[in-house]
Amino acid sequence: MKAPSVSIPNQNAAGLSAVARRRLQAVTYPLAGIAIMFLCWWLGGWVLAGNPDTVIFAGFAPGPTLASLQQMLGEGALWDAIGASLYRIGAGLFWGCLLGIPLGIMVGYFTTAMQMANLPFQFLRMVSPLAWMPLAVMIFDSWDGAIVFLIAMAALWPILFSTAHGVRRIDPGWLKVARNLGAGGAQMLRKVILPAVMMDMMAGIRLAVGVAWVVLVPAEYLGVTSGLGYAINDARDTLDYSALAAVVLVIGVIGYGLDSLCGLLMRRFNWRMES
């Protein structure tokens, strides 16, 4: 007698369902990417170590770097540098948001404001934040203040333009209904405009975090004696290349962490229902 055939849908030869396969790929592919990066890094270090002209830079290889990282974390100096840099990023983003969000709402909401501000803002946006460095040094009486100013200048534009874009995309029906229900200006802002643009605003903040993190390192080359940028500069001056590579690694990891945090916040504020 022939046994009834049982077919299990959505399974491959290895017995994994499509969903499980996708989940496995979501873990294995990034791990493979990291492994390839480490391999390239290791190869680079091996090439540097093998050449007498470049052997001095062999500290960039993964082994010395990780050893240096462990030592720096143990000594606590790296934590201080991370703390100082995160404070500057936080303060710069705070000012970027404080200026960028209201200006973005104003420029997005009022056509006249948009027409007046578009050209000057586009002009200012194209100026590298680091180009403000001499001006910042003159204006602020502390190095910290100057660095926070540079980061704020870097963060301002993505936040401002994303918020303005979000406001321009608001369904006019939402505004009309709110007016019709008797909403005042503050109520309109709090209950309609801000929630409506939250996703665009968060996207702007995510971009701003990326730009600000990139600007932070050269900004911290300015007179300060703390922060990750300073740590890189210091390691270069003392020819401690393994420490320099360890700081670069930390910058990358923290940058990735900040971006992931922004991604989480974006998902938290996403009111669009996935179909």
Partner 1 sequence: MGATISINGITHHYKAGADPVLQNIENRIDSGECVVLIGRSGCGKSTLLHLIAGLLQPSEGCVKINGHQVVRPMAKWNMMFQKPSLYPWMNVRQNAGLGLEFAGRPKAEIRGRVDELLMLVGLSEYSEANVQSLSGGQQQRVALARSLATNPEVLLLDEPFSALDAFTRASLQKEVAAICRDFGITLVTVTHDIDEAILMADRVMIMNRNPGRIEQEFEVALDWPRDTAGVDFQARRRVLMEQFERSENVTPLGKPSRDRVALRRVGG
The distance of closest approach from Cβ of residue 96 to partner 1 in the complex, given in angstroms and rounded to an integer, is 24
Q: Which is nearer to partner 1, 106 or 188 (CB)?
A: 188
Compare residues 73 and 170 and give the one whose CB is closer to partner 1: 170
Report which secondary-structure segment, H or E, holds 198. helix 194-219
Q: Minimum distance from CB of 169 to partner 1 (Å)?
A: 13
CB of 193 to partner 1, least distance (A): 11
- Cβ 196 to partner 1 shortest distance, Å: 8
Where along the sequence are the contacts to partner 1 (CB under 8 A)?
171, 173-174, 176-184, 187, 191-192, 195-196, 198, 271-273
What is the largest distance, in Å, between two alpha-carbon atoms of the chain? 93
Q: Which among 209, 230, 219, 212 has a CA at the least distance from the CA of 133?
A: 219
Least separation in angstroms between CB 175 and partner 1:
9
Which are the contacts of 52, defined by CB distance < 8 A and separation ≥ 6? Answer: none
Residue 2 vs 272, nearer CB to partner 1: 272
Contact (CB, 8 A) for 197 and 166: yes
- Closer residue to partner 1 (CB): 99 or 170: 170
Nearer CB in complex with partner 1: 146/193? 193
Distances (CA, A) of 163 to 130, 207, 233: 24, 12, 36
Residues facing residue 11 across a β-bridge? 17
Closest to 246 (Cα-Cα) out of 45, 89, 71, 34: 71
- For the chain, the C-alpha Rg in angstroms (whole number) is 25
- Read off the tokens for 94: 């705070």
